[in-house]
Amino acid sequence: MGSSLWENGREEFEVKFHVQVLQKCHTELVKNLDVDLVLDYMASKEIIHPVTMRDIRELKITSVMTRELIQYLMKRDDQFYQKFKECLEESGQQHLKKHLENVEKNTEVKESEDASCDRSSQTNSVNTEMKSSKRPVNTISSLSKGSTDWTLLVRVISKSNIFRKRKMDGRYYKIIKYFSVFFRDESGEIRGVFFKDSVKNFEQFYDLLQIKQVFYVSGASVTETNPLYDRAYLELKINNKTTIEPCRVGVDIPIIGEYRFTKINGLRYRQNDEFVDVIGVVDSIGEIETIPTKYKKEETKRELNLVDQSGMVVTVTFWGRHARSIGVKLKKIIALLRVKVSDWRGLSLSMQASTLMHIEPDIQETHLLRKWYDDIGNGKVFTMVFR
């Protein structure tokens, strides 16, 4: 938003304020908003134009629809934003309304603190600070496209291998090396992408960033992602200005975040190449196989079947070193975060470099699934999921 927001006094400040709140809550809304239900309530109260609602619904993918609705809200005034919160309340999504209001309070406090600091010329911050720069630490959810002057305090929850791809450079192809890392803090997750051509400390960063360790990260470019291939709204493009520094003190950042599980019978409504979270009981484990591939002479793979309370089974394919050391036994419950939907054999799941697997995680879904399997599921004949 431009400086014109400040030109007409308090009313324009309110517009800027609710835009700030929506930006900070963007990740939470994209993750948890039942956008169809909210649109229905907004339409019933005639606070959204039918053409606008039709345009949003035509986007079909839930996360894309949510992002479009947020962009629409950002263009409206504070009164419209308040009506949106009322629709959250009436559609049974009070937790999201409360989240927005908590962010509003924190934003008001932060603005007050910043003003106080300006008046007294103080340099200390009430937030946790990065020792080398004395800058306050931001949360992942507070970032927006193009954000600058931020520092994250995050835990590494997954790291890919170093990949190579060919790119046309004039008349010739050149090989580009890259890898990615998923970071987590208390507010959400974000992926960092490292390209050797853009990062002089490419190898050093790869060796430094170890899973479960905590780091300060700053100076990367904040860009939007493809909503089909990455459920996160934003990602970090690491460059030569990026600073990554280990955190030497204990920090309470969970390695396991919030799951949004899709039932196995619900996979039929997911698009090919979409990433989902799935939890199920291991019903069978196949043998290790080697198959020819387009770019390699051969690839190692192994398949297992997962079942859940929906009465259906889905095949999950593990690749490479993960196939050789799968680490899972029959009848164990596994949770998969960011596993890829594939149209192979009609419908299946494929493990990726960014996929996280947790065996018997201590969450409510595990306990419910265990009770169901022990009481009913063990020995049951399941139907293969299909579109």
DSSP symbols for 77-132: -HHHHHHHHHHHHHTT-HHHHHHHHHHHHHHHHHHHHHHHHHHHT----SS-B-TT
In a domain, 242, yes or no: yes
CB 111 within 8 A of CB 118: no
The domain that contains 80 carries what CATH number? 1.10.533.10
Find tokens 């894309």 and name the residue: 64
The count of domains in the chain is 3
Distances (CA, A) of 387 to 62, 189, 289, 343, 383: 19, 30, 26, 9, 12
The b/e string for 202-233 (b: 16+ C-beta within 10 A; e otherwise) is beebbeebeeeebbbbbbbbbeeeebeebbbb
Residue 381 has pLDDT above 80, yes or no: yes
| Per-residue pLDDT reduced to its tens digit, 324-359 | 888 889 999 999 988 999 988 889 999 987 788 888
Find tokens 């700053």 and name the residue: 218
Record the tokens describing residue 187, joined without a space.
Answer: 């507010």
Rounded Cα distance, 54 and 44, in Å: 14
Q: Average pLDDT, stretch 27-37?
A: 83
In a domain, 314, yes or no: yes
Helix (H) or strand (E) holding 56: helix 50-57
Residue 304 has pLDDT above 90, yes or no: yes
Residues 97, 70, single domain; the answer is: yes
pLDDT, residue 72, reads 82
| Whether the model pTM is above 0.75 | no
Q: Which long-range contacts (CB under 8 A, 24 or more apart) does 97-106 make?
A: 99/25, 99/28, 100/21, 100/25, 103/21, 103/24, 103/25, 104/17, 104/21
pLDDT confidence band for 375 (50 / 70 / 90): very high
List alpha helices for 121-251, DSSP H: 202-208
What is the length of the chain? 387
Rg (CA), the chain: 23
Record the tokens describing residue 317, joined without a space.
Answer: 């394919």
Q: Average pLDDT, stretch 125-139?
A: 51
Rounded Cα distance, 214 and 155, in Å: 4
In a domain, 77, yes or no: yes
Q: Average pLDDT, stretch 98-118?
A: 59
Q: Average pLDDT, stretch 144-167?
A: 88
Residues 136, 239, single domain; the answer is: yes
Q: Average pLDDT, stretch 30-39?
A: 84
Residues 379, 338, single domain; the answer is: yes
Residue 75 has pLDDT above 80, yes or no: no
Residues 329, 232, single domain; the answer is: no
More confident residue, 55 or 270: 270
Which domain does 273 fall in, by range? 264-384
Residues 179, 102, single domain; the answer is: no
